[in-house]
C-alpha cells in the first residue's frame, strides 16, 4: 500500500515539477489517498472462504467482526494517510503548508482517512457477500465516498488557506457525523449480511 502511494506521489512530482497551487496540491493529495484507500481496503472481506466465515460465526458476534475490521482499517488508513502526507510534502514541497493551519489540516487528514476506512469497509462487506468483489466495490464505493471526499477536500483547503476554526468547524462536524453514521450503519447491517 505504501509503495503504491509513494509511486503515485513520485509520478505526480515528475508530472508537475513546476509547482502546484494550493487548490491543485490539495486535490491531488486527496485523489491519491482515495485510490490508495480503494486499493488497500477492497479486499477486507475477500480473503475469507466459507469455512473461515463459519468458524468466525461460531466464535464471535458479527458486530464484533465488522467493528474489528473497521478499527483495523481505520488505523491502517490513518497511518497510510500520515505517511502519504510526509512523502507528499517531501516530493512536492511544503510551500503550500507555510500559511496553513497545520493542526486543522492534520485533523482533516485523520477524519478523511477514518471516513474512507469506514465507508469502504462497509462496501467491501456488501461486495464480498454479493460475490462480485472488486466490480461492485467500485460501483458502490465511488458514489458513497464522493460526499465525504468533497467535504474533506473543502475542509482541508480551508485549513491550507489558514481560515479560522469557527469557519471550518462546520465541515469537520460534517465529516465526524458521516464517520459516525457509517459506523452505525455497519454495526446495524452487518449481522444481516453475515447471516446469509
Sign of CA dihedral 114, 117, 123, 128: negative
Higher local confidence (pLDDT), 186 or 133:
186
| Residue range 54-97, pLDDT digits in tens | 666 677 777 888 888 899 999 999 999 999 899 888 888 778 88
Q: Quick check: 129 and 193 in contact, CB under 8 A?
A: yes
Instruction: Give the pLDDT score at 78.
Output: 94
Query: Which range is least confidently modeled, 50-54, 75-79, 94-98, 137-141?
Result: 50-54
Instruction: Give the pLDDT score at 4.
Output: 84
Cell representation of residue 18: 513546476
Instruction: Give the pLDDT score at 196.
Output: 58
Instruction: Give the pLDDT score at 101.
Output: 83
| Contact residues for 125 (Cβ-Cβ < 8 A; gap 6+) | 44, 45, 66, 69, 186, 190, 193
| Residue range 13-49, pLDDT digits in tens | 888 776 778 888 888 889 989 988 888 887 776 666 6
To the nearest whole percent, how much of the chain has pLDDT over 70?
88
Average pLDDT over residues 111-117: 92
Of 136, 111, 113, the residue nearest 125 (C-alpha): 136
Confidence of residue 51 (pLDDT cuts 50, 70, 90): low
Instruction: Measure the CA–CA gap between 42 and 138, rounded to whole angstroms.
Output: 9
Instruction: Give the pLDDT score at 16.
Output: 78
Cα-based distances in Å from 145 to 72, 89, 101, 167? 19, 25, 25, 23
Residue 52 in this model has a pLDDT that exceeds 70: no
| Residue range 143-196, pLDDT digits in tens | 888 888 999 999 999 988 888 888 888 888 888 998 899 889 888 887 777 665
Of 5, 76, 11, the residue nearest 36 (C-alpha): 5
Domain range annotation of the chain: 2-195
Amino acid at each position: 500500500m505504501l509503495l503504491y502511494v509513494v509511486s503515485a506521489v513520485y509520478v505526480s512530482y515528475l508530472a508537475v515539477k513546476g509547482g502546484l497551487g494550493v487548490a491543485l496540491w490539495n486535490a491531488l493529495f486527496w485523489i491519491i489517498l482515495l485510490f490508495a484507500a480503494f486499493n488497500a481496503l477492497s479486499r477486507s472481506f475477500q480473503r475469507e472462504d466459507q469455512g473461515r466465515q463459519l468458524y468466525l460465526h461460531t466464535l464471535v458476534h458479527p458486530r464484533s467482526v465488522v467493528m474489528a475490521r473497521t478499527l483495523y482499517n481505520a488505523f491502517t488508513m490513518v497511518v497510510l494517510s500520515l505517511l502519504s502526507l510526509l512523502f507528499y510534502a517531501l516530493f512536492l514541497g511544503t510551500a503550500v503548508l507555510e500559511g496553513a493551519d497545520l493542526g486543522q489540516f492534520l485533523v482533516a487528514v485523520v477524519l478523511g482517512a477514518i471516513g474512507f476506512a469506514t465507508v469502504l469497509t462497509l462496501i467491501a462487506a456488501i461486495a464480498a457477500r454479493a460475490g462480485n468483489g472488486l466490480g461492485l466495490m467500485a460501483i458502490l464505493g465511488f458514489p458513497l465516498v464522493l460526499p465525504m471526499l468533497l467535504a474533506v477536500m473543502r475542509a482541508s483547503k480551508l485549513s491550507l488557506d489558514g481560515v479560522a476554526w469557527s469557519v471550518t468547524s462546520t465541515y469537520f462536524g460534517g465529516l465526524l457525523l458521516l464517520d459516525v453514521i457509517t459506523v452505525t450503519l455497519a454495526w446495524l447491517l452487518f449481522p444481516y449480511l453475515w447471516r446469509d
